[in-house]
Amino acid sequence: MNQTDFFKCLSDPTRLDILKLVLAKQNICVCELTEALNLSQPKISRHLALLRNLSVLLDQRQGQWVYYRLNPDLPEWAVSVLNIIAEQDVSPMNSLTATLSSYCE
């Protein structure tokens, strides 16, 4: 992954919100993302595919659900950027993560 692609990826508000939720919850299901962001599953999946193709996120299937987490092999500079993002303006993400149900499990 190069820096240009990484920052282009972060420039989309939906992908940025997805990453904030992944950072907050560490392992999150598509159904939780659709609920938290109030977006359709196909739209969320399209954004997740881009994040997965850039190796920002990893996916893992558990039964009928697919869970996403941050790729532990991200370059240090990318992790630093994501950590800064996670620390900024946490109040909207706290309210989103608080409303997430765990009906996917």
In a domain, 51, yes or no: yes
- The verdict on residue 94 lying in a domain is no
Q: Assign residue 12 the CATH number of its domain.
A: 1.10.10.10
Q: CA–CA separation, 15 vs 48, rounded Å?
A: 8
pTM of the model: 0.82
Does a structural domain hold residue 77? no
Question: Model confidence over 85-104: pLDDT tens digits?
Answer: 888 865 555 555 555 555 55
* Residue 98: inside a domain: no
The pLDDT assigned to 87 comes to 85
Other CB atoms within 10 A of residue 63 CB? 7
Q: Is residue 99 part of a domain?
A: no
- Residue-number span of the structural domain to which 23 is assigned: 3-72
Write the pLDDT tens digit of every residue in 42-87.
Answer: 999 999 999 999 999 999 998 888 899 999 999 999 999 999 988 8
- Count of domains for the chain: 1
